Each structure stands twice: as C-alpha cells, then as structure tokens.
C-alpha cells in the first residue's frame, strides 16, 4: 500500500473527481491509500462496521447480500458510502472477481473529502438512496437489497 500522490495517477479516479477545481483535486489526491488484491479478496463484509470509502480503479468486484449478487462494479465506481453516511453496518459483502486496484479512504479522510467538496455529498447521498431502494424480488418477502 502507498499514498496516492496525484489525482491524475489513475483515469478512473480522475473520472470521478474530474470536474473539481484544481485546489479540490490537490486536496483529494492527498487522501487515501492505494491497495490491490487478487480475485477472491474481500473488500467489505456484510454486517461489519464500515470505516472506509473505496474507489475501484482497476478490475471488477461483485456486491453480494447473502448468496445473491446484487451488482458488479468496476473502474470509477465507489463503495462504502452507505455505512459511512448512514452510520450503519455494511449492507453487503464486496469481493474482487479479477485482480483489483483501489483507493481506500478512512472515515476521517472521507469526511475531509466531503468538507472539501460538499457537492460530492449530494451525489453520494443520491447513490446511497438508489442502492437502498433496489428491491430483492427473489426473497420470500420483498426486502430492500443492500449494495455496499
């Protein structure tokens, strides 16, 4: 693991934050730790406390609730906003399906990010709401599917 040094180090990260001011980009580029994993690496575990925000830079991951695959995420996608914004346990397990590279922001780095770029909070809340309202139609009683 190593600290990210420049936002433009990776196209997926630049895509997520590309429309921000240079000052905001400099601040964000100093946040997070670059990590990698092999297929099968668990990035988050359903029911566990969530203390990180994850940005997928390379590869793909599956978002699973129980035995059900809810979504596949790839470069530029992010995970962990539900537990950080909603102050609740992880709502899904996220597992790498290919080799992955991702940035991890701690809880304090995540809140620094939102303080520096408040408009990003609206985007993250909208995504959180979308992910929480996906209905699991295969369950005996429809429940809200969980995304990350």
Give, in order, the Cα–Cα distances in Å from 15 to each of 25, 46, 75, 76, 138. 11, 28, 9, 6, 34
Strand partners, 64: 69, 93
For domain 2-144, is the CATH number 2.60.120.10? yes
Strands 100-106 and 52-58: antiparallel
**In this predicted model, what pLDDT tens digit does every residue of 71-115 receive, in sequence order?**
899 988 888 887 787 777 888 899 999 999 998 999 899 888 888
HSE-CB at 116 with a 13 A cutoff on CA atoms is 19
Confidence of residue 10 (pLDDT cuts 50, 70, 90): low
């Amino acid at each position: 693991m190593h600290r990210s040094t420049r936002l433009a180090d990776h196209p997926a990260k630049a895509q997520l934050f590309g429309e921000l001011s240079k000052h905001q980009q400099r601040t964000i580029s100093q946040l997070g730790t670059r990590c990698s994993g092999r297929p099968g690496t668990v990035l988050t575990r359903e029911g566990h406390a969530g203390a990180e925000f994850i940005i997928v830079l390379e590869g793909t991951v599956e978002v699973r609730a129980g035995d059900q695959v809810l979504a596949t995420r790839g470069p530029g996608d992010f995970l962990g906003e539900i537990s950080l914004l909603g102050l609740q346990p992880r709502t899904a397990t996220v597992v790498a399906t290919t080799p992955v590279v991702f940035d991890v922001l701690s809880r304090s780095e995540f809140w620094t990010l939102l303080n520096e770029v408040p408009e990003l909070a609206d985007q993250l809340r909208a995504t959180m709401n979308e992910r929480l309202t996906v209905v699991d139609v295969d369950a005996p009683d429809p429940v809200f599917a969980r995304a990350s």
